[in-house]
Structures are given as structure tokens and as C-alpha cells.
Amino acid sequence: MLLRRTAAAALAAFSTLATAASPAPSTHPAALYGAADPTYDGVWRQSYALLALHAADTEPAEGAVDWLAGQQCADGGFASYRADPTVPCDAATEDTNATGIAVQALAAHGDDFAAKRGADWLAKVQNPDGGWSYNPGGTTDAGSTGVAIGALKAAGTDVKSVTTDGMNPYDALRALQLPCGHTDGGAFVRLRDGGTGAPAANAKATADAVRAAEGAGFVVEAPAQDMPPRTGCEGSAADAGAAWLVRQLDQGGGYFSSGPQMPDYGTTADAVVALAAGGHLDAARGVYNWLATHAAGWSQDNPAALAQLALAAYATDNPTRDPVTRLGALVPPPQQQAESSGSGSVWWLAGTGLVVALCLGVLLAGRKTRI
């Protein structure tokens, strides 16, 4: 009886050891860039990362493009993140920003079919004024309209041909721009309906709108030569918006702020790409130089932020690969995953051998007692 209880205890110890030694299943997608919870930004940061890697002519992690394509809903749109892609999408969770940037990333990596489906979905949810809101049916905003324009271009669609009630996306952008007689003439507001009070200039909305008004997406190649920005509110919508950006950046020390002693690195990076899209290479380089010096902490382990830095470097023809290298490190290579798994297996086998030896020892001891 004592022998049986001892053997049973040894087997129980074996079971406990085996359970402890077996690696716990991970719910984090292996091909997703970044370790943070992807609930609200999984598609966004993956798409941004893929765009930056494409611009840097760098292969993405194995499965990264397939993971993004697998996030697409049956109707062509994208939600911020689908934990289980086998479950049909709730249309209420789909948004224009996730769809717009995913279309650009998939088109860059050769998935034209998925990109076209996403662009078709965007056309179906266009607002009557020609623009887009974050969620279909909301108020048109500059950022969402800018992302959608970039997506349509990436999918090979003639942006001006995408209309509702005769209004195209560029009409929607112009409706969001403050007139030249305004204190902030040339700047863009975030929403067409500014709510109560006078509409206020918005730096991010202006950067997004300037880039889109130039017909560009998130990836902008550095212009071959510099075109100095205008100093006033004349010219096209993009010219006037760029002039406002430059004035504000000059007044702010070369960067945008979200509050006292609080640099807005993201909007500053957006401004670099927007200025480059307009051909203002020297102005864009000046802003990028500030980013390169100050934004390391902001971008730490943040795929979207690293992608913004990488794309700002690309737009200014800066050869640095630091953001791209740091971005690539956010997804462990397959061989490292295999080595990690193998190491765990070694310890598991060692533990198994120890328990088996213990069981044999107990059995042998029992036999000697009987003799």
C-alpha cells in the first residue's frame, strides 16, 4: 500500500512538472508587430509597419502580410482588430482608418485583390459631401478623408471619380480649409461641422489634408529637388496648407506640441511627410532633424511610431536605418521562436527523466523490502 501511494505521488509530481514545463499558449498573434494589446490598433500598427518596411526595401516578418490580409472582413472593410478571424465581422466595428491604411499596405506588398476590395468598401461608405468619417455615417473629418484618398490611389482608383451627389474627396478637403482672410488662413479644421464656436485650425488635420491634397498616401518618396513653400495663403489648397504648417513649425521651434513642454511627435512626423509630398524638401528635412534628435523615447517599442520615423526619413532621403532595424526587432524571427521552444523541450525532457528515475527507484526499493 505504501509503495502504491509513493508511486502515485511520484506520478502526480510528474504530471505537475509536465504541466509546468509545457509552455503556456500565447493569445498574441506571432506575426503581429509589437507586444501591446492589439484590440484598438492591431490593423493600424501592422499596416504602418509593413508600409515602412516596404519603403526601406526590407522583407517583413514571416506571415506578417498574411496576418493583415486575414483581418479583412467579408465585405472588404477592416475593423481595428479581429481576435478570431473565423467569426464574421460586425459591420459596426469596421472603420475607414483601419481599412484605408490596410489597403495601402496590402497594395504595397502585392495583394491587389484585397486592396481593391478595401477600396470598393471605402467608396460604398463615402459621405454625401465626398469625404469620410472614422465610422461610416459620421461627420466628415480631414484625417479619415486623407487616409481614404491614399487608399484609393494605392488601389489604382481615380480619386476624383469616386463621388457622392457629385462631390469628390478633394471637394470634401477644400470644405475643411479655413479661408485666406482667417487668422489661420490655409489651415484645415478636423471636422466639417466644427460644433459650437468658431472652427479652429488643427495641425494634424492640416498635415493629413496637405498630404492627401497632393494625392499621396503614407509613403512619400523624397522629391528630387526643393520647392520652397509659399509664404502666404495663395495657390492651391495644398500650397496654402503647407505654408501654414511651416509658419507654425517656425513659431514652435521646429515641432508641434500638444501642450506645454509636451511635443507632439506624431503630428510632427506627419508634417514631415506632408511637406515632402508638396516638394518642400528643405523644410521637411529641418523638421525631420528635430525628430531624429528627440523622438527615440517616444518611439520605443512602438511599431506605428517607428514606422512614422522610418517614413519621415524616407520622405527626406535620409539614409538612416535605425527605425527600420528597431521595428524589425519587434517580431522575433522564426528561428528564435524555434530555439526558444527547443530549449523548453530540453528542460521538459530533463524533468521527465528525473521523475521516471524516481519512480523506478521507488519500485526497486519495494522489491527489496519484499525479499
Show the beta-strand stretches assigned E in the chain: 257-259, 262-263
Alpha carbons 306 and 260: distance in angstroms, whole number: 24
User: pLDDT category, 112, cuts 50, 70, 90?
Assistant: very high
Compute the distance between CA of residue 239 and CA of residue 160 in angstroms, rounded to an integer: 19
Q: Supply 201's cell numbers.
A: 485650425
Identify the residue whose cell numbers are 493583415: 68
Residue 275 pLDDT? 98
Helix, coil or strand: residue 39 = coil
What residue spans define the domains of the chain? 343-371
Please give the mean pLDDT across all residues of the chain: 86
pLDDT at 367 over 70: no
CB distance 300 to 292 below 8 Å = no
pLDDT band, residue 196 (cuts 50/70/90): low
Contact 253, 234 (CB under 8 A): no
pLDDT for residue 334: 62
CA proximity to 98, closest of 55, 136, 138? 136
DSSP three-state, residue 258: strand
d(CA 162, CA 255): 35
Q: Tens digits of per-residue pLDDT, 217-232?
A: 999 999 999 999 998 8
Amino acid 16: pLDDT:
42
Q: What is the CA radius of gyration of the chain?
A: 27
Please tell me the predicted confidence (pLDDT) of residue 64.
Answer: 97
Q: How do residues 1-50 score in pLDDT, each as one tens digit?
A: 444 444 444 444 444 434 444 444 456 788 999 999 999 999 999 999 99
